[in-house]
Structure 1
Amino acid sequence: MEKIDIIPWNENFCTGINQIDKEHKKLVEIINNLATEFAYNTFKLDINTIFDELIDYTKYHFTSEEIIWDKYFKNQEDSEKHKKAHNNFINELHNLIKLQKKKPIEEIAEITLDFLVQWLVSHILETDRFMAYKVLSLIDGDSIEKAHKIAIQKMSGETKKLTTLIMSIYKVLSNNTLKLMREKARQEKVQKVLEEEKNKFEDIFKYSKDGIAILDLNYNFLDFNNSYLNMLGFSRKELLTKSCIEITAPKDIKKSIKAMEEVVNKGFITNFEKQCCTKDGTLINVNISASLQPDKKTVLVITKDVSSLKILEEQSKMAAMGEMIGNIAHQWRQPLSVISTAATGIKLQNNIDILTKEQLDSMCDTINNNAQYLSKTIDDFRNFIKGERVIKEFNLFETFETFMELMKGTIKQNFIKVNINVPKDISLNGYPNELIQCFINIFNNSKDALKNKDDDRIININAKIENNNLIIIFNDNAGGIPEEILPKIFEPYFTTKYKSQGTGLGLSMTYNLITTGMRGSISVYNKIFSDNKHSKGAEFKIILPIDDKISIK
């Protein structure tokens, strides 16, 4: 912390009496220290301690002065006035200390320093010098009367003008100096914050497990951390000769260029996925967030290797496929039975010549309606399995209808009552198939738990907008999840089922899709419901932030 003098010592302050001049310099030093503390707002010492030092030294100095004055003109009018001025100064300092409880420190600083500068400069230049001139004259052998006249003469005329000028200069100088000191202190604090932020960024850049790179607007690498190098397998020297496009899988080059254009125009992108080529030619799946830097010339890219997540997705999807194929087989039994019965009926009635046109039309309509139902089931299944990860606008209520159609067979087969309360006017921009997969995984967890319940198997699904978030809640009355299991529920491969019954991937996949893919959160807890039986069950709560990806229509 640099010390800037709010009262620079000047030879005009010298009285000619060494002891007094030495003590005046000390007083000026204390005031300058106080001003520095005020300006930088450091207060390494308590402000009361600083004031106490000022008061203690002032009393010591005033006593020294008064001993000298009393030696030469005790009980004279000038000496008594001087003592009274000293007492007034000490009283004013005590009043300033009391202001701490009533005014902010900045205001106290200005009032205190303005008082100290004006009082000290005025007291030294006028009162103390006048008294010193008298003492020096007496030392030279002059009488009291002559000494008084000499002091008046020296303090009048040009000297008086000079004193007034110096006092006015110091008033402006002290105010401006305090402002400059405060501005300098503010800049130093800002610089310190910037330096701390820079160090934090450098630590994150250096030690982050995610790959971090800095690109220019032509996609060339300017810098990167070790995690980025380890992810791709290149050396620093090798990667500095390449561009981001060069390491992109050919099929993803066009969308990568488009993504970079979006960063330049919009300022950022999040959750952009593509494949990159490592040094040995292996393709890895990456999730990228990028932001345009303040200089508008560089882009910060944060890259996660999600290859293992993709494998997890596929495993989870295959498990879901197997279950849904079973669902479809179950759903198809009744319409296939209806079609078979209608076809057999047509043939039989035709063989015995009792088939009328009306009966034929009716049975054909029955066959067609059931065939359309089978076709729709296949379309829903195909759309889910296709799973293209393309952001598109979709209606939340319609997504739940698709989910319910896919799970219709399971719901019926397991005698589950599903209560859905979802507004029809919420539209989202996102990934509907991934959201459906999350719903299926949560539903299956409840379904498996409900198998141990003999009657009233209930799953409730609610959705609402709350505090700029979309809230989706699934709960059941299956008795809840054991407390020791709750913290592990989203861990991959964690399952309480036999290996033949589950992979332990469903809820882990759901957690990753919600938190990483949709920038939301998911939690689970046990809850007692206020129904007639005070049922207990597990409640899953999904929170998706409302921003440019979610709208209410």
Structure 2
Amino acid sequence: MNLFFKNKYLIFIIFILYLITFNILSYNYFLEDFKKLEIRENKKNLSSLINKIDNNLQTIYNITNDYAKWDKTYDFIYTNNQQYIYDLFRNNSNTLHDLGLDFMIFQNLNYETVYSNFNKSYKLKEKKSDFISNLTKKYNKEEHATILKINNEYFYTVKANILKTDSTGKIRGYIFAGKRLKISSLNSSSTFNKIEVDKSKIKKINDFIKSQYLHKVGIYTILKDKNINSYLYFYNHNNEIKFSLKVSQKKDIYLKGQKQILIFNTIISSLFIVLLYILYIHTSYQDKIQKQLHEKVKEEIDKQRKQEQLLIQQSKLAAMGEMIGNIAHQWRQPLNALGLVMQNIQFAYSVGDLDDEFMQKSIKKTNTLTANMSKTIDDFRNFFKPNKTKEYFEVNKTVKKAIFLIESTFEHNYIEIEKEFSKEEIEVYGFASEFSQSILNILSNAKDALIEKKIEEAKVKIRVYKQKENAIVQIEDNAKGISEKIKDKIFEPYFTTKEEGKGTGIGLYMTKTIIENNMGGKISMKNCNDGACFIISVPISNV
């Protein structure tokens, strides 16, 4: 390790290569997930667009069907009774404008027009007879209510068989009804940036959307710049493309995901830099000590002084080694929690629950964890200094902070946290971050015990209350308690009941040191009900 850190240029090159590789791989991996999520959300919006078209066709179909299945219409086709026309289409009656239609055409079985009516607001670009001829020819190639292109205009069009009101009797003719399809009306909710008739030659398809009336709707989606462009291809029953639309909308999910990935990569890269820096400083410090010791050993003057200097340097080295070990231990749980936050994001995405609120909550937890990890370095560095400055802090707030840091881990393992906080503010004098870390250590041990023993309906109860002149924090789990044989050893350094490699045995030792030595309080443990109960008592400040 010493030889490795002596070659600073090699370290720098390896570090740069690692960061580049990590950022590229993680960026591409997560970005692909957000791309899929963006495409899935886009398909939902496109399905809503098709539903709007179906609803318009359904409305026209209902109107046309009402007229077609009516005894008066049934008789009109044979008699051509003008009173029928007068009653229905005079100026003060049910005009096409009232019905929301641009045309209604009545034809007999020979497709001869008995009567036709056009909305006054619609100006035909050709003769009525030519329009009707084009309409019937194109519609007879279809099977359902559909969209037809006539003279470079698009129409919602419905054809209904003329029958008696009770749908009996032979078919006497047909009613064709419809209205113009205004592209702008399809985006009334402003879901999309732009909808237009597609005039490009792109005819690729990578998915389909179901429609109630349209025979088949194919889609081709591509992500370009800041937009996601979708091409909708509308087919007839002969699998011929009647027309196509180009729909564009902003890649909101993709762009937000891209930003979150960059934030995540920045956090991880920063953590790696900090760890590498600590290792480098530690190794440099060791080299410095060894060099000093080597020089002092060679000196044959004042051997007693040399021995004293050696002891002093060794003591400093031991303290630094212990501090680094503690930092590594305290970082393990926040790093696991950070990993779980990312897993929760991926899980939420897989079940479709990934939204802005969830993402913001995850970011908030991530920022809190990393800030806590950074602060842990200063806390442990100050911990070994005898001249640390204490401060007044509120117990409820500090306990809530500890719960917040580990809450996602509990939720992931289906462990319920019952909280009961004091209704009055309880202030104590001491080290807020160390006190919070003590709570975190106990909660983490409770979580590990509940998981290891596979407790059903796992639960941890936390109470904060005032008892005389002391602030009490009581943490109780239902993990079946701690064996009487080892109960008195749990606060000893390096004592652990976990498998080798899964615990250092320093967590509760540090907790006891913080509460009793640094804050003048007391911590105890007893088995109660269905598990272990830790009670922390700290004197209340009289300020």
TM-score (norm 1): 0.37
**Structure showing greater relative contact order (alpha-carbon pairs closer than 8 Å, 6 or more residues apart):** 2
Question: Between Structure 1 and Structure 2, whose CA radius of gyration is higher?
Answer: 1
Structure number with higher strand proportion: 2
TM-score (norm 2): 0.37
Structure number with higher helix proportion: 1
